[in-house]
Amino acid sequence: MNDNKTVRSAHPVSDEMRTSVLESLAELERRHEVSVLFACESGSRGWGFASPDSDYDVRFVYVHKLPWYLTVEPGRDVIEQPISGELDVSGWDLRKALQLLRDSNPTLLEWLRSPIVYRQDATWTARLRELAEQGFSAVRGYHHYVSMAKKNLREHLYGEVVRYKKYLYVLRPLLAARWIREGRGVPPMRFADLVGATTLDAALVDEIDALLEVKMRAGESATSPRWMGIHDFIERELAVAQAHSFAKQPKADTASLDACLHDAVLHFDARQDN
């Protein structure tokens, strides 16, 4: 595995920003009369390669009180707060989150594996993580990551100059796809973990690390000429990824997801009334 070579990684969140995030979540709970089960950092800070001017992408899962789930017309199942400065906060209702877990939604799976957790109810977060592992669809996850890599390559990496972060937006899904292709289950969120657990040429790892070093001290919009070693690897790896196929998998059983929703709503409804 690269002779134990990996790449740099950092997840910078100041105490002041963490306090601001927690205050924002508490205010959202009061305003919308919900309970936050889990809140994490998504995006580049969670992946481990944030730039100095990267936003804080706070994502959370919440549950309403029981009456919200007992209406003919379903309510809005997303809470979004207007972006304020560096802070971008949004979340999904538990029922929506469980529907996405049924479909092995990679975004939600990454939230549940984020190295930066702002808040969590340990019991319910553990239950969500267990459901995510049990119901993981290699087929859906694989196609998501391959499609993401292909789209970002086509749209961003064929110019004379390239934004640093766009290389990482192709490399990360390609390595996640390889992780799935090798039968390892749900890929880790941290980019450094993907690199460190993947057999790669040492020179390529060095070039990726050099790219990360520049990206993590430059602005989000910084550009450079093509990094040819990385670009050549991407072309080869995408060709392998697109040639791979999976056998069909059965649809996930929803009984355990239904039970989680039922139990959580009753639990938090009772707690909010006390």
What is residue 125's predicted lDDT score, i.e. its pLDDT? 97
Q: How far apart are CA 269 and CA 274, in angstroms?
A: 9
Average pLDDT score, the chain: 94
Q: Are 38 and 120 in contact (CB under 8 A)?
A: yes
pLDDT of 83 reads 86
Q: Which residue has the higher pLDDT, 71 or 253?
A: 71
Q: What pLDDT does 3 receive? A: 60
Decide: 188 and 48 in contact? Cβ < 8 Å: no
Is beta strand 56-64 parallel, antiparallel or unpaired with respect to 87-93? parallel
- The pLDDT value given to residue 68: 97
Query: Residue 110: is it exposed, middle or buried by C-beta count within 10 angstroms (0-12/13-18/19+)?
Result: buried
> Is the separation of the CB atoms in 129 and 56 below 8 Å?
no
Predicted confidence (pLDDT) per residue in 9-52, tens digit: 999 899 999 999 999 999 999 999 999 999 999 999 999 999 99
Q: Which domains does the chain have, with CATH numbers?
A: 15-135+252-273 (3.30.460.10), 138-243 (1.20.120)
9 within 8 A of 37, measured Cβ to Cβ: no
Q: Is the pTM of this model over 0.85?
A: yes
Q: How far apart are CA 182 and CA 193, in angstroms?
A: 15
Is the pLDDT at 159 greater than 90? The verdict is no
| pLDDT higher than 70, residue 100 | yes
Q: Tell me the average pLDDT across 149-159.
A: 94
